[in-house]
Amino acid sequence: MGTMENTIFHKILAKEVPADIVHEDDEVLVFKDIHPKTKTHLLFVPKQFVASVADATGDAEHLPGMLILKAQQFAKEQGIDGYKLLFNVGKNGGQEVPYLHLHFMSEQKLKN
């Protein structure tokens, strides 16, 4: 899985494929999930590539924690106080896109 370096999320990060982007900074891109499971369903994707939580070792070990903190800050900015955060890890864990991402799901709406 660590060698899959041409996923749909690589293309979204490179702006080769459009996405409904709600936040971007030096470390992360946040966009709406194309098949939302909740009223607000976002994906937090790090700009540094790693395939999954299982591969987040060495110079990538901070990435899962960083994504959680970005979600925490984003929720606060949006006034969202109830949400679920989910990492699917590996094919057997239901991960379809082999590029690390954090699902942010809430029944509360974004401000805009």
Residues lying near ligand AMP in the complex (CB under 6 A) = 8, 19, 31, 33-35, 43, 88, 94-97
Residue of 35, 62, 101, 103 with catalytic role: 101
Smallest separation, CB 3 to ligand AMP (Å): 17
Smallest separation, CB 4 to ligand AMP (Å): 12
Q: Is 101 a catalytic residue?
A: yes
Whether the Cβ atoms of residue 48 and residue 57 lie closer than 8 Å to each other: no
Residue 58 is encoded by which pair of tokens? 């060495």
Which contacts of 28-37 are long-range, i.e. CB under 8 A and separated by 24 or more positions? 28/66, 28/67, 28/70, 30/70, 30/74, 30/104, 33/103, 37/105
Whether the Cβ atoms of residue 9 and residue 99 lie closer than 8 Å to each other: yes
Smallest separation, CB 24 to ligand AMP (Å): 15
Q: Which CB, 13 or 75, lies closer to ligand AMP? A: 13
Give catalytic residue positions.
101
